[in-house]
Each structure stands twice: as structure tokens, then as C-alpha cells.
């Protein structure tokens, strides 16, 4: 089994930056895509962006493109979400997810880390 643990959340003022980390442990040899999702109070969880563990290619939703950047360090089995120019609407619990067997669907989730952006 593979476990994902997010860290790096906190309270930041609008315009500030945070970097979230997602560390994978256990059987990580067949990990495929790794992605970031977020869920604000009263709203459904939404996709933010993801990265292919092999090629390193990324994609993002329009609302974060240009502000957020996903990167990975495969040697450390860790992915990062660098968040710049944060806005209050970015406030949410952020979750790391993974395609644990590289079959094209997310099936593994972390516990989440809170990001709060104040005005």
C-alpha cells in the first residue's frame, strides 16, 4: 500500500505564497499521475492540477494557471504545489491524489492540509 501525506498549509495574506508538499511512502514504484485537489467549505472537491510522474508534464485549471506550479522529485517520491499570488478564494483544504498503479484514474488520497488566505 502507498500512503500520501500533505504538508505546508497555513495562513497567508492575499498576494502571498505557500508551497505544499505531498510525500508518498510504501510501494511507490508504479505511481502514475499525481494531482492536487481542493475543497472549500460548502463546496464539492475540485481538481486543481496534476503532473505525470514519468514525463513531468503538467496541466492546471484556468483559475490557477500562471499562479500555481506543480513539480516533482521522483527520487524523494514527493510532489509540490507552489502557490503564488494567493487569493481569498483559494482558501480550502488541499488534497494530494495519485494514480497508484498508473491505470489512468486517481485511487489514492492524502488527508489534506488547510490553506487559508486572508484579505
Q: Using DSSP, how many helices (H) and how many strands (E) does the chain show?
A: 0, 11
- Structure confidence at residue 53 (pLDDT): 79
- Taking CA atoms, 117 is separated from 12, 90, 98, in Å, by 5, 7, 26
Residue 1 has pLDDT above 90, yes or no: no
Could you say which DSSP state residue 45 is in? -
CB atoms within 10 A of CB 73: 11
Average pLDDT, rounded, for the chain? 94
The tens digit of pLDDT for each residue in 60-89 reads 999 999 999 999 998 898 999 999 999 999
Contact yes or no for 17/71 (Cβ under 8 A) = no
Amino acid at each position: 500500500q502507498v500512503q500520501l501525506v500533505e504538508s505546508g498549509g497555513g495562513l497567508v495574506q492575499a498576494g502571498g505564497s505557500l508551497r505544499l508538499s505531498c510525500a508518498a511512502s510504501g510501494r511507490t514504484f508504479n505511481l502514475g499521475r499525481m494531482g492536487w485537489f481542493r475543497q472549500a467549505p460548502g463546496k464539492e472537491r475540485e481538481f486543481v492540477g496534476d503532473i505525470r510522474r514519468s514525463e513531468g508534464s503538467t496541466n492546471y485549471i484556468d483559475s490557477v494557471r500562471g499562479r500555481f506550479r506543480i513539480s516533482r522529485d521522483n527520487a524523494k517520491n514527493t510532489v509540490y504545489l507552489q502557490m503564488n499570488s494567493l487569493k481569498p478564494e483559494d482558501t480550502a483544504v488541499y488534497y494530494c491524489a495519485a494514480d497508484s498503479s498508473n491505470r489512468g484514474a486517481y485511487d489514492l488520497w492524502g488527508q489534506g492540509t488547510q490553506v487559508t488566505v486572508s484579505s
